[in-house]
Structures are given as structure tokens and as C-alpha cells.
């Protein structure tokens, strides 16, 4: 049985990855310091013999006994509300944490995949964003702690590949959503759903003309798995190119949940105004493209939020 270490395992994406690798027959070692993760996301795996959990911060030395075939590094705060609250930890997990795990991969002869992000493109001047675009990032702005942590993560990963011949993979993840998202994580989809379900105004920053492209979590996990098993070393965008303005997205949420209103607030500093992946490489190299429509993905996500958010609209009915 092959063994895989997944960091950030108790988080939204990490827990779905644990499920996938368990389903594929791996022995899964989940690791998380639970600073933003939720152990409840993994409780269904605890009875399994081929799953184990380590409560550990990868910014400190990482030891895993026995052989390792793969390491997937998904430990990091991933929403502005988190990384603005814990900026130092965000920088450390992207730098020290990545360094520790690359060292572990080298020692074990494991292949390592790192979770980078569309945020390496910053507030892009190229649209849609291709992997060749170097980005437009403010390193000392409020979002710089996350953006630069991920850019450094890519740089040191490529250095280990080049200098140590380590097998590495780099995924640049665009906006992803689905069950197990934290309601209070500050990202637009859980924010809109929870506000609408509680009868509150939907908070739109800016005038609503900025765009996002939402990828359902099952599609993302499939892309991650294919990239890990490929021989592609250079970064690959994984996301859904179906672009929508925030204003139009708010209308879709309100139509799904019930009537409601929106309120407009100033756009945060360095908030990207456009976000859409060019996924030509993913199609060509991995044979991957998203399958779940936004309408279907939102329906599934709404069903999840019904279990964690009181729905005022339904109570009124």
C-alpha cells in the first residue's frame, strides 16, 4: 500500500484530498495544526486502518516514520480573513513549512506537490491568466503575506527540483468551493450563502463588476490527482474558466436561497479585479477540464450550508 502525507488535512481542500486517496487505496497520513482546519472534517476517516492523523505545525521540523511515496502540501491559511489575522504564520508555513517538507521528500525519495494559487498573479494585467504570466503583486500590501509566501513556495520547490533532482509538481488553484467550506472564512461564496440564509444583506466590495471563476471541489481534486501522477514539472492552472461578476453571482445566490438585498462597501486594497484561469495546459497535458456546472455545484454546496447555517428564508415559509 502506497503512503501519502497530506498537510492541511483538516482543511476544506485537504480533507477532500484525504477522501480521494483513501478511495484510491492509499495509506493516508493527515497532518494539521488546526489553526484554521476543523478536525470534524476528518472524523469519518478515524476508524480506518489506512488513515492516521498527526497534530503538528509543519513550520517546525517534520518527521514521519516509514516510507513515503507522495507529499501534498496544502497547509496554509487560504482566505483574507485568516491570513490578515495571522500574517506571520502564513509566511512561515509557505516558507519554513515548504522547506521542511521538501527536505522530508528528499530524505524519503517522495514526489511532492505544492498547492500554489492564482494569487501569485496578484491583480492581473493579463486576462485570462496563463502560467507564463509573472503577475502584478504588491509584496508589502496587506495581501502580500499570502501572495509572496506562495511565490516563494514555488521558487524553493523549483530550486529543489533543479538542484536536488527532486520530483515536484506545482498546482495554481483558482477559486474553489463546495461542502466543508468554513462559513466564516470570508470568501465570497460562504459569505453570500450564510448572509442570504440568515436574511442579511449580501456584502459586495466595490461596485460588483470584479470577476471570479468558481471551480467545484470534486473537479479540483481530480485535477490535483492527475497532476500528481503526471510528469509535468512546471506550474499548471486548475480552475473553472466560467467567469462571472460578483454582482451577478450575488443574484444567483439570492435566486437560490430566496429574496434579499445587497450592500456595497469599499474594495479592499490590492483586491484583484479580474480572475479567470487559462486552462489550455491542463487540457493538453492532463486531459482535464471541469465537469460540474456552477448551477449544480452551487446546489450541492447549498445543501451542505443548510446543515450548518440556519435558513431564515425557509423558516419563514
Q: What is the mean pLDDT of each run of 10 residues along the chain (317 residues)?
A: 98 98 98 97 98 98 98 94 93 98 98 97 93 95 94 98 98 96 90 92 91 96 98 98 95 90 82 88 98 97 92 51
Residues 77 and 30 in one domain: yes
| Residue 82 included in any domain | yes
Same domain, yes or no, for 251 and 162?
no
Q: Is residue 280 part of a domain?
A: no
Whether residue 91 is contained in a domain is answered as yes
Three cell numbers, residue 61 = 521540523
Same domain, 128 and 261: no
**Whether the model pTM is above 0.75:** yes
Is there a single domain that holds both residue 129 and residue 195?
A: no
Total domain count, the chain: 2
Same domain, 90 and 191: no
Is residue 257 assigned to a domain? yes
CATH number of the domain within which 197 lies: 3.90.25.10
- In the numeric block, which cell numbers belong to residue 296? 449544480
pLDDT at 316: 44
Cell of 49: 486502518
Judgement on whether residues 157 and 192 belong to the same structural domain of the protein = no
Q: Let me know whether 268 and 246 are in one domain.
A: yes
Is 146 designated active site? yes
Residues 141 and 60 in one domain: yes
Among candidate residues 146, 160, 177, 216, the one labeled active-site is 146
Is 207 found in the same domain as 219?
A: no
Range of the structural domain that residue 81 is part of: 3-176+215-238
Amino acid at each position: 500500500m502506497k503512503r501519502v502525507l497530506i498537510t492541511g488535512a483538516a482543511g476544506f481542500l485537504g480533507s477532500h484530498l484525504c477522501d480521494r486517496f483513501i478511495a484510491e487505496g492509499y495509506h493516508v497520513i493527515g497532518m494539521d495544526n488546526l489553526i484554521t482546519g476543523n478536525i470534524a472534517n476528518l472524523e469519518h476517516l478515524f476508524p480506518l486502518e489506512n488513515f492516521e492523523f498527526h497534530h503538528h505545525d509543519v513550520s517546525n521540523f517534520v518527521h514521519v516514520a516509514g516510507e513515503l511515496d507522495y507529499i501534498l502540501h496544502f497547509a496554509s491559511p487560504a482566505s483574507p480573513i485568516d491570513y490578515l489575522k495571522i500574517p506571520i504564520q502564513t509566511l512561515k508555513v509557505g516558507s519554513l513549512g515548504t522547506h521542511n517538507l521538501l527536505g522530508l521528500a528528499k530524505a524519503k525519495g517522495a514526489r511532492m506537490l505544492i498547492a500554489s494559487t492564482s494569487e501569485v498573479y496578484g491583480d492581473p494585467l493579463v486576462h485570462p491568466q496563463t502560467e507564463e504570466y509573472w503577475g502584478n503583486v504588491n509584496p508589502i500590501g496587506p495581501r502580500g503575506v499570502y501572495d509572496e509566501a506562495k511565490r516563494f513556495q514555488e521558487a524553493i520547490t523549483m530550486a529543489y527540483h533543479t538542484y536536488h533532482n527532486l520530483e515536484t509538481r506545482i498546482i495554481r488553484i483558482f477559486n474553489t468551493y463546495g461542502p466543508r467550506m468554513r462559513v466564516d472564512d470570508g470568501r465570497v461564496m460562504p459569505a453570500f450563502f450564510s448572509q442570504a440564509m440568515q436574511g442579511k444583506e449580501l456584502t459586495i466590495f466595490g461596485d460588483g463588476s470584479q470577476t471570479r471563476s468558481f471551480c467545484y471541489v470534486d473537479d479540483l481534486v481530480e485535477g490535483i490527482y492527475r497532476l500528481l501522477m503526471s510528469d509535468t514539472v512546471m506550474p499548471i492552472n486548475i480552475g473553472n474558466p466560467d467567469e462571472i461578476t460578483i454582482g451577478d453571482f450575488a443574484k444567483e445566490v439570492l435566486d437560490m436561497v430566496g429574496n434579499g438585498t445587497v450592500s456595497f462597501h469599499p474594495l479592499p486594497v490590492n483586491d484583484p479585479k479580474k480572475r479567470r484561469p487559462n486552462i489550455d495546459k491542463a487540457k493538453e497535458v492532463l486531459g482535464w477540464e471541469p465537469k460540474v456546472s456552477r448551477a449544480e455545484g452551487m446546489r450541492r454546496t447549498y445543501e451542505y450550508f443548510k446543515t450548518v447555517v440556519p435558513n431564515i428564508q425557509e423558516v419563514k415559509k
